[in-house]
């Protein structure tokens, strides 16, 4: 009996890619076609390119509004698994450490961290001759 290989299911990103392509092409064709009709009706040759550009701009706008992922949209902590929660906590700790390092680097040289600490003077000592 002959065994046929099983086909892999399409990736979930493929559907989104086809939707993006369809939005861009439909905006171009729809508004470019309307511009071409206006060109024929008004007997000018300007509206088809204008319609195509407007259609592409509106297609891009539609793609961005529909398919863009907001950066601040994070799942609730109750929905996170333990490994995802650990990764999120590690990322938060890393961000806090980087922020502290940036603040420390921006602090002027010789600034005191404690009120009773002596200012930083460096290693060179002047001698009296």
| 34-40, Cβ contacts within 8 angstroms, sequence gap of 24 or more | none
Beta-carbon contacts of residue 128 (< 8 Å; ≥ 6 apart):
none
Segments making up each domain of the chain, as ranges: 17-67
pLDDT digits 0-9 by tens, 71-121: 555 555 456 677 788 888 888 999 999 888 888 888 766 555 555 555 556
Residue 33 has a pLDDT of 96
pLDDT digits 0-9 by tens, 8-40: 777 777 888 888 999 999 999 999 999 999 999
Place of tokens 């009296």: 128
pTM exceeds cut of 0.75: no
């Amino acid at each position: 009996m002959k065994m046929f290989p099983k086909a892999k299911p399409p990736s979930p990103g493929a559907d989104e890619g086809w939707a993006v392509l369809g939005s861009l092409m439909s905006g171009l064709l729809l508004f470019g076609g309307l511009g071409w009709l206006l060109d024929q009706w008004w007997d000018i040759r300007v509206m088809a390119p204008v319609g195509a550009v407007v259609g592409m701009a509106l297609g891009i706008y539609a793609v961005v509004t529909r398919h863009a992922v907001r950066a601040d949209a994070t799942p609730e902590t109750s929905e996170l698994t333990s490994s995802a929660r650990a990764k999120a906590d590690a990322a938060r700790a890393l961000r806090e450490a980087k922020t502290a390092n940036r603040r420390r680097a921006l602090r002027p040289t010789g600034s005191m961290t404690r009120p009773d600490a002596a200012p930083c003077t460096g290693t060179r000592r002047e001698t009296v001759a």
